[in-house]
Amino acid sequence: MLRVGLTGGIGSGKSTAARRLVGRGAVLVDSDLLAREVVAAGTEGLAKIVAEFGDDMLAEDGGLDRAALASVVFHDPAARERLNGIVHPRVRQRSEELIAAAPADAVVVQDVPLLVEGRMAPLFPLVVVVHADPEERVRRLVELRGMPESDARARIAAQADDAARRAAADVWLDNSGDPADLEAAVDRLWSERLVPFEENLRLRRTVKAGAPRLVAPRPEWAAEGARLCARVAAAAGERGRGVAHTGSTAVPGLPAKDVIDLQLGVESLADADAVRDALQDVGFPWRPDIDRDNAKPPGSPAWPKRYHGSADPGQVVHLHVREVGSPGWRYALLFRDWLRADAAAREEYLAVKREAEARYGGDADARRYVEVKEPWFDAAAPRADAWAASSGWVPSLE
């Protein structure tokens, strides 16, 4: 089963995307509908609202007077928090019941309007954000829903901004134009990413990086690394001791393979084994066949770790789980920070990478690509250590 978080601002067309996904076979868990269900007439949720906000919250038919409630909570953050404390736990419980009832091979789309505001993005293996330009959203709310323009703008302003949503989005669906374009984008997302992601996840299968080819540095690498770090940290919970974006994509301006390397610190490999299933459930299957440490100087003793790849066909990830303070843990952070600080070292390393690519860039077996770089790493390790000593470097996750 794959759980997908779907969100977007009011008027963005999120519900349109959800319907299209359901049409392709997704199981939809709609938080808005559940929020109505858990406070319907006769429910414990409605009784709690009346007890908290008064009998004026009841309509003549015994149901919730939504207009009366909105007038109380819309401009009062404290009141809104009290309301959320009643509604959100009940929505979560009902969501969990529906997810548990879904087939084992389902793609479960959880439509959560306030996913970003509620900081829930790291809890999903994949987050899809539906976007539309603010003025287009205002137009839709006014013309299609009959909402006063001032209310439309106030509701948009009260939600997360585009920057916050972009930071949370693994997939960004632009719905500012023709509705047919959104439908086509959803169809591609379903067939090219969601269906294979679910299958990979269920079978504990990882995607491969393919032939080692360098690409120009992408500005998005930093945000992708941060988003994935948050997902890994949430899965590891209290057993985790910090997650860092490492490797070449963590060095600004350095051409690299389009692969995000992450390092999860743990107290012991017993903790790594304890969080294995949680990491697999959010998209990072364990690869016991390569539980070796390739971030070590050649010829040095093996440095134990656990390695997880990515089940997401849209993003290749190497997740290395190492003991905090171990040589491998320190080495990964040191080389990243040394390359960030030393332009000459970056140029040297890039030249070695270019040579390796020229020899084996068309070879799907990346081991020979790595072997070309090993002598440089062997010679560079003392220089990195000297830089650490002279600069007062200490390991950092940033």
CB 12 within 8 A of CB 175: yes
Bridge partners, residue 172, by sequence: 129
Tell me if 176 is assigned to a ligand binding site. Answer: no
Q: Tokens 């990979």: give the residue.
A: 200
Quick count: other Cβ atoms within 10 Å of Cβ 99?
15
Tell me if 283 is assigned to a ligand binding site. Answer: no
CB 295 within 8 A of CB 329: no
Please state, in angstroms and rounded to a whole number, the distance separating the CA atoms of residues 114 and 82: 16
Buried residues in 59-85 as b, exposed as e (16+ CB within 10 A): eeeebbbeeebeebbeeeeeeeebbee
Tell me if 353 is assigned to a ligand binding site. Answer: no
Tell me if 63 is assigned to a ligand binding site. Answer: no
Alpha-carbon dihedral of residues 266, 345, 370, 312, nearest 10 degrees?
50
CB 321 within 8 A of CB 246: no
Please state, in angstroms and rounded to a whole number, the distance separating the CA atoms of residues 59 and 80: 20
Report CA-CA distances (Å) from 237 to 122, 123, 265: 11, 11, 12
Tell me if 14 is assigned to a ligand binding site. Answer: yes
| Helical pair 66-73 and 44-53, crossing angle rounded to 10 deg | 50
DSSP string covering 288-301, please?
GGG-S--SS-TTSP
Buried residues in 301-336 as b, exposed as e (16+ CB within 10 A): eebebbbbbbbbeebbbbbbbbbbebbbbbbbbbbb
Tell me if 13 is assigned to a ligand binding site. Answer: yes
DSSP-based helix, strand, coil % in the chain, nearest 5: 55, 15, 30
Q: Which residues are annotated as a binding site for ATP?
A: 11-16
Q: Which residues are annotated as a binding site?
A: 11-16
